[in-house]
Amino acid sequence: MEMLEEIQKLKDEATSALGTLKSTDDAENFRLRYLSRKGALAQLFEKLKEVPKENKPALGKSLNELRTFLENEFETSRNNLGSKSPTSDGSLDLSIPGRKRYTGRKHPLTQTADEIKRIFTNIGFGIADGPEIEDDYHNFEALNFPPDHPARDMQDTFFVKSEEGKYVLRTHTSGVQIRVMENNKPPVRVMMPGRVYRNEAISARSYCLFHQVEGLYVDKNVSLAELKGTIAYFAKEFFNEEAKLRFRPSYFPFTEPSAEVDVNCFICGGKGCKICKYSGWLEIMGCGMVDPNVFKAVKYDENEVSGYAFGMGIERLALLRYGIDDIRLFFENDLRFLNQF
């Protein structure tokens, strides 16, 4: 049975030759020597023709197995030649960290806005959008800011250079309320996020623009108690289960009654610290019941429906939530900042 021995011998020899392959030239030589049409393996197949018939099936099977084995091994070895990866020398160092790739992130303000939207869409709010360059009517007048009213001083306004005073960079997203109600019959339940502008000197505490989310719910028998309950739900979702709220009477021309909402300072636990200006409370939004004059402006029947509206600054909520001390960081886009969120 010398044929069988030859097969075994070829297998041993070829296997050890495979281990010494170092270049593509080596590989080509190996292929020519063992696997080519005139190589060692082909020669054995030639020899197979000469063996006695009764031995042919067994030897043929062995030879075919050897061919498959060598071809596979050769393929693997040849593929490994190209790269100098640590797998090629057999000692794989798995402690090497993976290759660095970019990890993307959404801006912290987007993340905060998304969270607010999620909380309110869960309870049935839709989402609407509006223009940033707004006319005086939608930004002020329809919201019950009469011309020459001191309430207009509450928001330092940028005017667009064109028909003086007629167009402004919106100072709040409340104008979208008007647009939504003008075009949709009640009931209405909608959130309105967007960019707003204030003509204020830029500092750690204020920027020339920021983002707001406005909420509006108009239906039969909407009450202040309902508004309080909804904001309490929001605060528990956004801050934590223990969030305590305080509704302080305030004034906005487009709501009556109006309130400012404070949450108990989660930094000092209400004992008083620098962030809450030693009051134990942090202001988070303004809100109130939609003023009848606003309903008149959008032709809703004030005797049929009532509603609440609220508005919060996304930057403010993000500043509070993350303890950020400078609003300008949001717009500098320093990656060392952005990558923290």
Partner 1 sequence: MKISRKWLQQLVDLSGVKDDDIASRLTMLGVEVESYENFATKYDGFIVGVVLEVEKHPNADKLKVCKVDVGGEVKSIVCGAPNVAAGQKVPVGLVGAMVPHNQHDPDGKPFQLTRAKIRGVESEGMICSANELGLGDDKSGIMVFDGAANQGTPLSDYLGLNDTVFEISLTPNRADCLSHLGVARELAAAFSKKPIQKRVKITEDGPSINESVKVDVAAQDLCPRYSARLVRKVKVGPSPKWLKDGVESVGIRSINNVVDATNFVMLELGQPLHAFDLKRITGHKIIVRRPAKDETKFTTLDAKERNITPDMVMICDREKIVAIGGVMGGMNSEISEDTTEVLIESANFNQSSIRRTSKALGLSTEASYRFERGVDPNLTIRALDRVSEIIAQTSGGKLAPGIIDIAATKFLPKRVELHVDHVNRLLGTRLATGEIIRVLESIEIPCDKKSETVIMCSVPTFRGDIERDVDLIEEVGRVYGYEQIADSFQTKLNFDTRFHGNTSLDELRDLLAGAGFNEIMTNSLQPADVAGFHDTAFVALANPISEDMAAMRTTLLPGALQTVGVNLAHGLKDMKLFEIGRVYVVSEKEQVIGRFVESPKVSIVLSGAADPTSFDRKESKFDIFDLKTEIERLLTFLKLDSWDFISYDTTKEYEQSLKLFVNGMELGIGGRVGKAALQKLSVDQDVYFAELDLTSLLALRKSTKRFKTLPKFPFASIDLSFIVEGQTPAAEMMNALRNAAGEMFRDISVFDIYSGEGIPDGKKSIAFSMALGSEERTLNDGDIAGFIEKAEKTMKVKFSAELRRQKN
User: Is residue 189 left, alpha or beta, with left meaning phi > 0 and alpha meaning psi from -120 to 50?
Assistant: beta
Helix (H, G, I), strand (E, B) or coil at 126: strand
Scanning residues 180 to 239, which ones bind partner 1 (CB under 8 A)? 180, 184, 187-191, 193, 195, 197, 199-202, 208-209, 219, 221, 223-226, 228-230, 232-233
Q: Which of 5, 20, 54, 96 binds partner 1 (CB under 8 A)?
A: 96
Q: Which of 6, 11, 81, 158 binds partner 1 (CB under 8 A)?
A: 158
Scanning residues 276 to 305, which ones bind partner 1 (CB under 8 A)? 277, 289, 291-292
Residue 47 or 198 with smaller CB distance to partner 1: 198
**Interface with partner 1, residue 118, by CB under 8 A:** no
Compute the distance between CA of residue 168 and CA of residue 199 in angstroms, rounded to an integer: 11
Residues 6+ apart with CB under 8 A from 111: 341
Q: Which of 9, 38, 166, 296 binds partner 1 (CB under 8 A)?
A: 166
Q: Which stretch binds partner 1 (CB under 8 A): 5-13, 30-38, 63-71, 244-252?
A: 244-252
Compute the distance between CA of residue 45 and CA of residue 40 in angstroms, rounded to an integer: 9
Residue 73 or 132 with smaller CB distance to partner 1: 132
**Interface with partner 1, residue 256, by CB under 8 A:** yes
**Interface with partner 1, residue 258, by CB under 8 A:** yes
Q: Which of 20, 23, 85, 91 binds partner 1 (CB under 8 A)?
A: 85
Residue 133 or 267 with smaller CB distance to partner 1: 133
**Interface with partner 1, residue 94, by CB under 8 A:** no
Q: Total binding residues for partner 1 by CB under 8 A? A: 100
CB atoms within 10 A of CB 180: 20
Compute the distance between CA of residue 319 and CA of residue 315 in angstroms, rounded to an integer: 6
Beta strands in 174-279 (DSSP E): 188-197, 209-219, 245-252, 255-264
**Interface with partner 1, residue 275, by CB under 8 A:** no
Residues 6+ apart with CB under 8 A from 119: 233, 234, 237, 238
Q: Which residue has the tokens 């987007």?
A: 110
Nearest partner of 247 among 233, 263, 235, 236, judged by Cα: 263
